[in-house]
Every structure is written in structure tokens, then in C-alpha cells.
Amino acid sequence: PKELGLADDYPKSRAASQVRSKSRARSEVSIDDFDVGDTLGEGSYSTVLQATARKTGKQYAIKVLDKTHLARKNKTFTAKIERLALIRLGRQHPGIVSLYWTFQDAHSLYFVLDLAANGEMQTLISRLGSLSTRCARYYTAQIVDIVEYMHSKGVIHRDLKPENLLLDASYRLKIADFGTAKVLNADVETERFVGTAQYVAPELVVANESSESSDLWALGCVLFQMISGRFAFSGLSEYLTLQKVKQAEYVFPGEFDEDAKDLVQKLLIRDPKQRLGAGEPMSPLDMRSLRSHPFFDSIDWTTLWTDPAPPLE
Ligand code: ATP
């Protein structure tokens, strides 16, 4: 259809309404407008495919959700949350996969997203064993910047982990998978207990409560893992992992950058209000103290998304 590709020319601030109007006029875009390529990944309820828009040649990732499977597992609302979160986040932030169109046919829901050509951070960590402190600093800074933006828009991700931290063609981060996000002040059902044992915050395990600060806990877990190559919290079973989470019981390996260690220690704190970047007097969303932690001394926040990524090592 004529409109395909128009969203790219829209002013950024109009991106959300563009997505909305596109999905309402469902017949305008369909899977037939794309040449579908390889499978990029599989989620619990979805398959993500590489795709090229026939008209423009632009590459996308298309997340295909099976309607019957979603309905059978009572998970239809997760697709609604993901769409709502992505619309709320708009297309302003380079670290978040943009949503271009949503449409559906008899069997599937389709989300046309930015392509993150270099896959998951998890694969990178597994391949390299662990990341250099320099790389870990760069990616942690990008997560901080993304998390601050998400929270300012009233979106709590709740499942930050290396599988959901994707890498674009320039090895910059793009965060994905908003199906378990909490979208504040939105008329949408929110799943109560979500997350992944190794990254879930104690308040979720103990009291089923989550807030912006739960993403800060996950940030601490991810930084620990990038530098050490292993989980901060891991037991022989999920139950045992969660026991350790509840106690905030973890051990640093012998070699661990001192500033990074200090930052992890200030994030992996049981009381969500005490975590660095949470519950500051002026604004709960103000993460200035996090940005000014010594671990980030060499980070230039103004060029974080334009500087080349450090060599992967
Ligand atoms: P989960 O079961 O973890 O909740 P999900 O069904 O919500 O997963 P996603 O995590 O969004 O699905 O996607 C599954 C996988 O597909 C990702 O881990 C990633 O490997 C790949 N993927 C998702 N989005 C993109 C993208 N925009 N570009 C490239 N690959 C992607």
C-alpha cells in the first residue's frame, strides 16, 4: 500500500498516533507487504522474523504472535501491554525498539519493529565468557539512559535481562520484550508476578510489589553478570535461586572492578527505596545519582548514542 514507509517520514512526536492509526486501518498494511526472511528468535508466545519491506527495502523485525496460543494460555493481554508500552514509549529513544505497525490476520498478531541485527546481549556474554569492564560500563550506561527514559514515560520493564537487551547493527543496545511491562496510569490489565528468577527483585518475591526500583535491581544483576560471566543469584532450582534473592545473598568473584563492585552493591539492596537512583527527594524518577557514580566517570552522556561502541572483548 501507498502508506508503507510513511511512518519513517513522520515527525517523531507523531509516531504514536501514526502507529495507532495504522493499526486501526488494518487493511492498509499486511504481512504481504514484506519479504520474510530468517527466524531471529523465539519467545514463549511469539516468533520473531527478519523482514524487508517490499516497497522501501527497509529491514525490520516482525514479531508474530499466535492468537490461539495466546488465548489458550490466557495471555492475550500481554500482547496488549506490549503494544501499549511501545506506543507510550514512542520512537524518540534510540535504545528502545520502535514499533512501526501492528496488524493481524485470522491466526496471528504482527508487530513490525526495528531490527536489532546483532541479536541478544546474552549470546555476546556466552561467546566472550564475560565482558571487559569498558564494555560493561558502556552497556550499563546505555541501560541507565534507557531505564530513565522508560520510567519518565511511566513504563516499568520488569524483565530486564541479557536476553531482552538486543544489539543493533552498530552494537548499541536496543531493549525489547515489553509483554510483561507495567504501564502506569493505563487502562490495561497488568500481570501480577513477572520476571525471571535470576533478575527478579526481592520485593516481587516477598510481597508481589514492583516499582521503578525493580528495574534498578535487575540492572545490578546484569552488570554483575556482564563483568563476571555468571549470575549474581543462582541456585540449583528456581526456589533456591529465589531464596538467595530474598536475602540479597551473592558473592563477588576475586577479580571485579572496584567501582563496578560499589555500584552493584548500591543496586542489589533489599529495600527498593535505598537503591541508587530510587526514591530521591526531588523526584523518584531522577537518576542523577546513578549517572554520577564513579563507575561512569569516563562516560560522556551527551554522546552515548552516537559514539561508536567499544571493541567487544
Ligand atoms: P519471552 O518468552 O522472553 O517473553 P517474547 O515472546 O516476548 O519472549 P521477545 O523476547 O520479544 O519474545 O523475542 C524473542 C526473541 O526474538 C528475542 O530474545 C530476540 O532474540 C529476538 N528478537 C526480538 N525482537 C527482535 C528485534 N527487534 N530484532 C532482532 N531480534 C529480535
Distance 121 CA to ligand 1 centre (A): 12
Read off the pLDDT of each residue in 39-47 and give the average, rounded to a whole number.
Answer: 91
DSSP H helices in the chain:
6-9, 15-24, 67-72, 76-89, 121-128, 133-152, 202-207, 212-228, 238-247, 258-267, 288-291
Binning pLDDT at 50, 70 and 90, where does residue 238 land?
very high
Distance 271 CA to ligand 1 centre (A): 31
Asked if the model's pLDDT at residue 1 lies above 60, the reply is no
Query: Would you call 165 exposed, middle or buried from its count of C-beta atoms within 10 A (0-12, 13-18, 19+)?
Result: buried
φ/ψ of residue 99, rounded to 5: -100, 125
Closest-CA residue, ligand 1 atom 16, reads 41
Cα torsion angle, 261, 263, 264, 265, sign: positive
Cβ neighbors of 172 (< 8 A, separation 6 or more) are 94, 95, 142, 305, 309
Read off the pLDDT of each residue in 220-244 and give the average, rounded to a whole number.
Answer: 97
Summarised one tens digit per residue, pLDDT across range 176-197 is: 999 999 998 887 777 666 789 9
Binning pLDDT at 50, 70 and 90, where does residue 3 land?
very low
The count of C-alpha atoms lying within 13 angstroms of the C-alpha of 301, restricted to the half-sphere facing its C-beta, is 16
In which region does residue 275 sit, left (phi positive, over 0), alpha (psi from -120 to 50) or beta (all else)? beta
Q: Is the minimum distance from the CB of 164 to ligand 1 under 6 angstroms?
A: yes
**Range scoring the smallest mean pLDDT among 41-50, 229-238, 252-261, 299-308:** 41-50
Please tell me whether the interface predicted TM-score (ipTM) of this complex is above 0.85: yes
Q: Is the minimum distance from the CB of 86 to ligand 1 under 6 angstroms?
A: no
Asked if the model's pLDDT at residue 25 lies above 80, the reply is no
The label of the residue with cell 490466557 reads 74
pTM comes to: 0.90
Length of the chain in terms of residues written:
313
